[in-house]
Amino acid sequence: RRNVVTASIDSFSFENPVHVGDVISLRAELTFVGKTSMEIEVHVETEKVITGEVLLVAAASLTMVALDEKGRPTPVPRLILETEEQRKKYEEAVVRREQRLRRLKVESSSKGDYSDPS
């Protein structure tokens, strides 16, 4: 077990509204693990109590970094991919990570400060 902090929110989309009386559920899935970072895909759904209809409300991709007792990034266990769907999501996460790191490098080069959180 480790404490983690949010390093970035790569994408966040709102798809449908939530209304008073709806039941909200969140589902999170670990899609990528680096040396100290991990990507978590989060889906928020709403269920209309009367009809049972379930709708996607929001989706997000978050990068979290594990911290040790002194608040420094610390290694995390590797991700075990058991299904083809998990492998596909992992490969997609690798692409997102590479894009994110390129974007950070460009942004930071103009500020003179760049570090890879994982």
Residue 52 lies in a domain: yes
**Which pTM was predicted?**
0.77
Structural domain including 53 reads: 3-111
Read off the pLDDT of residues 13-31 as tens digits, 9 standing for 90 and up: 999 999 999 999 999 999 9
Read off the pLDDT of residues 87-104 as tens digits, 9 standing for 90 and up: 999 999 999 889 888 888
In our burial notation (b when 16+ CB lie closer than 10 A, e otherwise), range 54-69 reads eeebbbbbbbbbbeee
Number of domains into which the chain is organized:
1
Residue 117 lies in a domain: no
Domain of 53, CATH number, reads: 3.10.129.10
